[in-house]
Structure formats: C-alpha cells, structure tokens
Amino acid sequence: MGLLAYLKTQFVLHLLIGFVFVVSGLVINFTQLCTLALWPINKQLYRRLNCRLAYSLWSQLVMLLEWWSCTECTLFTDQATVDHFGKEHVVIILNHNFEIDFLCGWTMCERFGVLGSSKVLAKKELLYVPLIGWTWYFLEIVFCKRKWEEDRDTVIEGLRRLADYPEYMWFLLYCEGTRFTETKHRVSMEVAASKGLPPLKHHLLPRTKGFTTAVQCLRGTVAAVYDVTLNFRGNKNPSLLGILYGKKYEADMCVRRFPVEEIPQDEKGAAQWLHRLYQEKDALQEMYKQKGVFPGEQIRPARRPWTLLNFLCWATVLLSPLLSFALGVFASGSPLLILTFLGFVGAASFGVRRLIGVTEIEKGSSYGNQEFKKKE
C-alpha cells in the first residue's frame, strides 16, 4: 500500500473531511435561509443563487468520488445523445441498486454543468436530515410520503412550480420507489405476477404514479426522458464508506434518450411505456452480467477541476482556525478543556457517521416489503 493510499484510510482525515462538509453545509444553509428574502422580489435570482450554493455543498461529495477515490464513470451511449446533455430540461430514470448510485448520477450532472440545479422526487423523511434535506428544501425539491392519496396534490403543485425554472435541470426519479433488496424483489415479483406483468430479474416493479405525473406536469418544460442503467465492473457493490477509504470503482452507465413526444400523454399509456422500459432495462442488466459491458459507444467525459478547488477553498477557510484552536487546547494542559474538545470530536464523528448511514442499504427503509402489495 502506497503512502497516499494509506493516508486515505486514516480516521483523522475522514473526520477532517466530515468537519469541512458539515460546517460548510451549515454556513451554506444559513446563507440559503437569508436568500428567502429574495423570493417575493426576484424569484429567479433566488433560484440561481441557490443553485450555486447547492453546488458548493454537493460538489464536495462528487470530489470524494472523482478525486479522492478516483472512481471512473463511463457512459455507454452515442455522441448525439451526449450533445444534448446540459442543454435541456429532462427527467432521469435511474435504477436503485447501489449505495452510491446517486453519487454517480451527481458526477454526470457535475460534468455537464447541472449539479446545482438537479432535482429529485424524494421521500419526506429526508427533509429533516440536516444539510441534505435542508439544502433540498431551498432548491424546491419535491418531497412525498409515498402514499399517493396523500401525495397527489403536493407532488403536482411542486412539479408545476418548476415549469419556469431558469437553469437546465435534471429531475431524477427512482421509479422502483426504494432500493433493491432480495426480499423486496420477491414481494415485487409476486405483485407483477398478480397483474400479469413479465417478471424482472434485476429490478423491482416500477411504480408508475410518480413517473406519469411528472411527465404530465412537466410536459412542455422537459424535452426528453433519459433512461440510465448503472452497474459496476467486477461485480462490485460499492459503498460511501468505501469511497471515503479511497477505494476505486469503475462505474458503467448505459444512457438512452427518449424525446418526451414519444411517451403517451394518457396515464395508462405512459404507465405501459414505463413497464416496457423496465423490461428493456432488465435485458440490459442481464447483458452486462453476461458480457461485462453495455451496448453502445464508450464515452468518458472529462472530470472538471471545480469540485476539487471548491473543497480546497472550504478546507483552507475552515481547517486553519480549527487546527490552531486544537493546538491551543492541548498546549493549555487543562484536563477539562481537553476532554471537552475530545467530546466535541466524538460527537462530530458520530454525526458524520449518521449522515453516511443514510445511504447504507442495510439501513434502508422497509418500504416495498409490504407496500408493493397495495394498489398504486
């Protein structure tokens, strides 16, 4: 193991990275709170500012993937599709199998200039997660309880509010509703059989309400739907902790572009279109399992320096006074002061670990184990 690889495994560095992320996030959230005063005066200026504030936070996570772990992301698509990236409003459909699938998606958003304006249909519980949920609130993210009877009006209102968004946005949908597990897959396929739908081997049965509603509400705003099927070479199952420890992965993403005009306007037709799409996604995953590659031209967009420069700026501003303070504490020789400081470090470590835990598969929600048995 080289020196750099060894350093990446050290807890103290992880703690410092977490400190920078948490403190900068709190500063960014406070700044976002102040920008609320702009909303009644100039809504579009408020939105543009918050896109850049969000970028300053999310890009720190992208930096970990791109520069810390040096994970490679390869697109399997065609140049004509790539030429549209970052130049239109779109809905993204991504499979939900991995702890860092969102991070791979963010990496592509960053490389095509839409990271700050990226959107997602998120479960309401995330609204209360510090930094992540708070930042999403100011970005007008659409939150839902995943109970359509209660969500319908809220989701429709939130989507329609985005119709005049000034920055090109990629709106992410996890149509499966929850992350893939074997238990959820078994229950999901029981539902598929009861509905006379073909079984899926690598995906859960897609929940169509969110997709059909998003397409209906954003029709005229979004130009296309991008279907993204993600997998990792070597049958790896990466985690955010693995990224933090500097482990390098190779992510492959098969991207297909469907103009929104190709999607039926009626809800039943759009739902059938989505089910056919997931059958195709399943075939793509089976092909990847057999051959180790997706079909299409391999394109590897160049990483940009801005994520690294952003993190280094925050680290310089925040770590310099922290290190000076720590030296002063230990130089004082006061047991009470030293114990208090160590207690703060322990609390910070616990907080960072809890934030990481949000992405862990084994700590995911039980949504899907029984919810698939209910009518959509």
What tens digit of pLDDT does each residue of 195-230 get?
999 999 999 999 999 899 999 999 999 999 999 999
Q: Which domain holds residue 346?
A: 313-358
163 and 74 in one domain?
yes
Q: How far apart are CA 340 and CA 361, in angstroms?
A: 34
Give how far Cα 307 sits from Cα of 43, 82, 239, Å: 27, 21, 20
Q: Give the pairing of strands 142-144 and 119-123.
A: parallel
Burial (CB count within 10 angstroms: exposed 0-12, middle 13-18, buried 19+), residue 330: exposed
Instruction: Say if 374 falls within a structural domain.
Output: no
The model's confidence at residue 6, banded by pLDDT at 50, 70 and 90, is confident
The model's confidence at residue 5, banded by pLDDT at 50, 70 and 90, is confident
Please, what's the b/e burial string for 40-66 (b: 16 or more CB within 10 A of its CB; e: otherwise)? Answer: eeeeeebbbbbbebbbbbbbbbbbbbb
Whether residue 74 contacts residue 251, with contact meaning beta carbons closer than 8 Å, is answered with: yes
Give how far Cα 376 sits from Cα of 148, 162, 211, Å: 7, 25, 12
Last residue of a domain, one of 300, 328, 348: 300
Tell whether the model's pLDDT for residue 1 goes beyond 80.
Answer: no
Tell whether the model's pLDDT for residue 136 goes beyond 90.
Answer: yes
The model's confidence at residue 376, banded by pLDDT at 50, 70 and 90, is very low
Instruction: Say if 266 falls within a structural domain.
Output: yes
Give how far Cα 331 sits from Cα of 9, 39, 340, Å: 28, 48, 14
Nearest residue to 117 via CA among 144, 145, 143, 87: 87
Rg of the chain over Cα atoms, rounded to whole angstroms, equals: 22
How many residues does this entry show for the chain?
A: 376
Number of domains forming the structure of the chain: 2
* Residues 6+ away with beta carbon under 8 Å from 280: 227
Helix axes 43-63, 306-332, angle to 10 degrees: 70
Which pair of tokens denotes residue 2?
A: 């080289």
Other Cβ atoms within 10 Å of 269 Cβ, number: 12
The model's confidence at residue 357, banded by pLDDT at 50, 70 and 90, is low
345 and 277 in one domain?
no
The predicted pLDDT at position 375 comes to 45
% helix, strand, coil for the chain, step of 5: 60, 10, 30
Q: Which amino acid is at 183?
A: T
175 and 277 in one domain?
yes
319 and 176 in one domain?
no
Instruction: Say if 308 falls within a structural domain.
Output: no
The predicted pLDDT at position 328 comes to 75
The predicted pLDDT at position 138 comes to 96
Instruction: Say if 226 falls within a structural domain.
Output: yes
Give the mean pLDDT of 120-124: 86
Classify residue 71 by its DSSP letter: -
Tell whether the model's pLDDT for residue 365 goes beyond 60.
Answer: no
The predicted pLDDT at position 42 comes to 97
Give the mean pLDDT of 28-40: 97
The model's confidence at residue 15, banded by pLDDT at 50, 70 and 90, is confident
Q: Give the pairing of strands 119-123 and 170-173.
A: parallel
38 and 111 in one domain?
yes
Q: How far apart are CA 47 and CA 163, in angstroms?
A: 13
The predicted pLDDT at position 2 comes to 80
